[in-house]
Structure formats: C-alpha cells, structure tokens
Amino acid sequence: MAILKKNKLGLTSKILIGMGAGIALGLVLRIAFPESDIVNDYITEGFLHVIGTIFISSLKMLVVPLVFISLVCGTCSLSEPSKLGRLGGKTLAFYLFTTAIALVVAIVSAVLIHPGNASLATEKMEYIAKEAPSLSSVLINIVPTNPMQALSEGNMLQIIIFAVIFGFAIAHIGERGKRVAALFEDLNEVIMRVVTLIMQLAPYGVFALMAKLALTLGLGTFESVVKYFFVVLGVLLVHAFIVYPTLLKLFSGLNPLIFIRKMRDVQLFAFSTASSNATLPITIEASEHRLGVDNKIAAFTLPLGATINMDGTAIMQGVATVFIAQVFGIELSLTDYAAVVVTATLASIGTAGVPGVGLIMLAMVLNQVGLPVEGIALIIGVDRLLDMVRTAVNVTGDCVATVIIAKSEGEFNEAVFNNTQAGKISANFDGS
C-alpha cells in the first residue's frame, strides 16, 4: 500500500497529462475528421461538452457559498474595526499598485514593439460591442438591495459587501456572536473538504476542456495579429515570472521559486477554466495549505482579488488599446496614455472573473479615449487563448498580494511555505 502511494502521480502531473492528452485527441480528431458532423455532435458538443461543463459547474457551485462563508469567518475574526480597515486598505492599495505596474509595462511594450500595422484596418471589421456598464452604475451596484438576490445571481462585489458587514456584526454581539462564528468556521471546513474532493476530478475535466478547445479554436485571424498576441503573452509572462517574484522578495523576503512552484496547480486550473471565480476554491485551498497563509487573511483578500484584481486583464487591455490606435493610425498623447491607465484599472476592477469579460470591458476603455470599438473585431480571434493565460496571471497576482499581506500582518506560517510537501492534494486527501 505504501509503495502504491509512493508511486502515485501528484495532482499537478495528472492535470498536465489530462491537458496534453486532451489537446492531442482534439488535434487528431480535427485532422482525421475535418468538419465531421458526427464528431461535432457526439464528441465536441456531446461527450466533451458534457464533461467539461460538469467540471466547471462543480467548481462554480462552490464559489458563492465559499465566498460568503469564508468572508464572514475572515471578517468576524478581525473583530477590531481598525484591523479590518488596515487590512482592507492594504489589500486595495496593493491590488491597485500591481495593476498600475502591469498597465505601464503593457503600454510601454506596445509602444516600443509597435504590433499594430495600419494595413490591418482595411480588413472587414464588425464588432457589435455589448454594452459596457457606466462607471456610476458600477459604483451604485456595489451595495445590494437584496442580499439573497445577490447570492442567487452570484454578484460577487455585492456578496463581499454583505458578508463583510455580516461578519463585522457577528464579532460585535458577544457570546451569541461566538456561537455563530463557530458555526461558520465549521461550515468553512466542510466546504474546503468539498473543494479537495472536486479537485480530484480536475484531470478529467481539463482533458475534456482542452480537447474541445483543440477541436473548435478558430485561428483565422491569428496570422494578422500574431505580433499583438506575442506582445500580450510576453508582458503576461514578464508580470508573472519577473514582476510578482520581485515584489514577493522585496516586500516579504520569501523565496520566489518556492512560490512559483506552489502556484502551479492554481495556474493550471485558471488556465483551463479561464475564470478567476471558478478557480477561487483552489486559490483559497492553496494559499492556506500550500503557501501557509492564515484563513483570516486568505478569506478576505482572495475573494476580493478574484473580483477586482485583474492584472492580466489590464495587460491585455493596455496592449489592445495601443494596438488598435496603431492600426487606425491614431496618435495617442501622454494624457491619452494616462487616461488608458486610469480607465483600464477601473475596467479591470469592473471585469467579472469569468471567461471573456475582459474583452467586453475593453470597449469601455476604447470609448474613453475615443478609439473605434470595431477594433475589437481584430483581436477577438486570439482572445480565448490570451484569456486563459491572463486568468492564470490574475490569480497569481491575488496570491502574491495575499502572501505579502499575511506576512506583514503576522498571520503567516513560514514553515508551511518552505515545506515543499505541505498541502499536496493527493497526500492530504488520502492521509486524513
């Protein structure tokens, strides 16, 4: 039995195998049976669609209860208002700071590399922009009129606000509050156990998602926007593997290599689902059990991060804006660039952590600086792939901030962080 356990593949390896096998199957079917209705109806839209969707649904199923329960737990354990205020302030400041760095690097790279070629603008372009919400409605909608509706619709920002107020009240009603807090802590344990269970399904879910992607991804516009694609990809990689590790070292003194290694599962989930929200259960699990962040902090910073901190999305929006201006031969002034930084920061805050929303919010940035929204038609073909990578960057940013903040608050277990085996899912699951 012990030998069997030893030889067992880790979850990350299984997910990687699922991913590789899925892509291989998709490509083989695509080449062997091009445009086959049978493959399309029974495999792509049949089997693969069902398995992939069940996997994503089972992750999403946990998000609302997890965010609500864990945020209530987090807030009621930070009973002093000053601590809550300090944590909230630090978290927001750090999230904004990293998004601003992301945007500056993105814009400077796009200006220097100049991916946009004016000849692209002559291609037939059609993009009907879905209406991006106005800034005032984004602000007003932060406060729920009906928390039950917010929970049933999965409106994250509203759930966050309600949970924080609820948790705060629990902390301030003495003995009775303690009983309610204990109940929420137990519920939190239950839900984290469900996360561990569902993670076991990941290799199969990822297999189906990747196979479907390989079967359906249209690369028609890929050639013409190859340069744009690689500029976004390059900046995303720089942000994930240079900017974040440097910030981690600078602000916390921790070893960035350990952090990068421990983020692999979370990034794979984010990459396969293209949704920060769907990845949230895994992000919380990894931050607490693999990175050593106390639940008080993770429960507060991560749901907030999955909702408002989208550095990867901001990078795409920064490069895309400059690219579209270049394609249409529109010169941007320094003030325009500053406007791009401000609006793209707000747009990334307003972007929901679900697939593809970053592109919709790009319309808001383009409108703000007076660029043609049809330009989005050019980049839509490669957006799905970029969405997957930027989501992985988005969740990495949430975790970097969480570790740094936890360390600065003294709510961090460095021994867990340094232990390469800590919180490994298969060990954890079989062992207890």
By residue count, the chain amounts to 432
Nearest to 292 by CA among 114, 412, 204: 412
User: Least Å distance between CB 357 and ligand ASP?
Assistant: 4
User: Least Å distance between CB 297 and ligand ASP?
Assistant: 21
If one asks whether residue 263 binds ligand ASP (CB under 6 A), the answer comes out as no
- Give me the torsion for CA of 133, 385, 298, 13, rounded to 10°: 160
CA atoms within 13 A on the CB side of 383: 19
Q: What is the DSSP letter of 243?
A: I
144, 305, 350, 358: which one binds ligand ASP (CB under 6 A): 358
Q: Is 412 helix (H, G, I), strand (E, B) or coil?
A: strand
If one asks whether residue 356 binds ligand ASP (CB under 6 A), the answer comes out as yes
If one asks whether residue 275 binds ligand ASP (CB under 6 A), the answer comes out as yes
Nearer to ligand ASP among residue 99 and residue 276 (C-beta): 276
Q: What is the DSSP letter of 240?
A: I
Instruction: List the beta bridge partners of residue 293.
Output: 412
CB environment 302-333: b (16+ within 10 A), e (fewer): bbbbbbbbbbbbbbbbbbbbbbbbbbeeeebe
Nearest residue relative to ligand ASP (C-beta): 358
User: Least Å distance between CB 290 and ligand ASP?
Assistant: 20
Site for ligand ASP in 35-94 (CB under 6 A): none
- Say how far apart CA 294 and CA 31 lie, in whole Å: 49
Judged by CB under 6 A, the stretch of 196-204, 246-254, 325-333, 384-392 that binds ligand ASP is 384-392
Site for ligand ASP in 336-355 (CB under 6 A): 351, 353-355
Judged by CB under 6 A, the stretch of 10-18, 145-153, 223-231, 270-278 that binds ligand ASP is 270-278
301, 313, 345, 402: which one binds ligand ASP (CB under 6 A): 313
If one asks whether residue 307 binds ligand ASP (CB under 6 A), the answer comes out as no
- Say how far apart CA 233 and CA 345 lie, in whole Å: 19
390, 397, 402, 411: which one binds ligand ASP (CB under 6 A): 390
| Contacts to ligand ASP by CB under 6 A | 274-276, 310, 313, 351, 353-358, 387, 390-391, 394
